[in-house]
Amino acid sequence: MKKQKEATYQAIKSVCPSHEDFTVLTISKDERDSIVAILVEGFKAGEIELKRQQDDLVKYTRGLVDNWLKKDKRFNGNVVFKHKNPGIRAGQGDPQVKALRTMLEMTEEKGGSAEDLEAIQEAINARIAEIKPKVKRTVDESLIPDSLKHLL
C-alpha cells in the first residue's frame, strides 16, 4: 500500500511527465482533474493509504493534491513550506477552547451583550495563550543597525 505523498507524486508525474523535480509546477484544471481521478481510483482500489473514511473522496483528494503541490519540494521550487497564517487553528483540539467557542456562538445567536461576548473572547484568548507552546526567539545583534539596537 502506497503512502499518500508518494502516490500523489507518482500521479502528478504521470500527468506531467516533462516536469523537472525541484522546480515550481503549475498545473491546469484539466491536469488537476486527471491527477484527482487517478488518486480517487487508487483510494477506491485500496492501493493508497487512507487512515479515515472520507465523506467526499473527490473533495478530499483535491485538497490532498493542493497540499502536496505546496509542500513537496519536488513541486514547489525546492523551498520549505511556511504557513501564511500560523496559529490560525490554535486551540482546535482543546476541549475547553471548543466549549468556549460554542458558548460564544450561542451567546451571539441569543443577542448577548457586548460585555458578555468580550468576556468569553478574553477567556478563549487566555486559554489559547496558556496552551500555546512558548518559542524563544533570538536575534543576531550584529545584523541589527546601531540605530535600532536600543530596541533589543
Query: pTM here?
Result: 0.60
8 is a domain residue = yes
pLDDT surpasses 80 at 31: yes
> Are 103 and 57 found together in one domain?
no
How many domains are there within the chain?
Answer: 2
Lowest mean pLDDT among 41-50, 65-74, 89-98: 89-98
Let me know whether 57 and 102 are in one domain: no
Q: Give the Å distances, CA to CA, from 130 to 96, 102, 119, 124.
A: 11, 19, 16, 10
Residue 32 belongs to some domain of the structure: yes
Give burial (CB, 10 Å; 0-12/13-18/19+) of 42. Answer: buried
Per-residue pLDDT at 90 exceeds 80: no
Residue 14 lies inside a defined structural domain of this protein:
yes
Query: Does 105 fall in a domain?
Result: yes
- Domain range holding 103? 95-131
Q: Do 111 and 54 sit in the same domain of this protein?
A: no
pLDDT of residue 141: 85
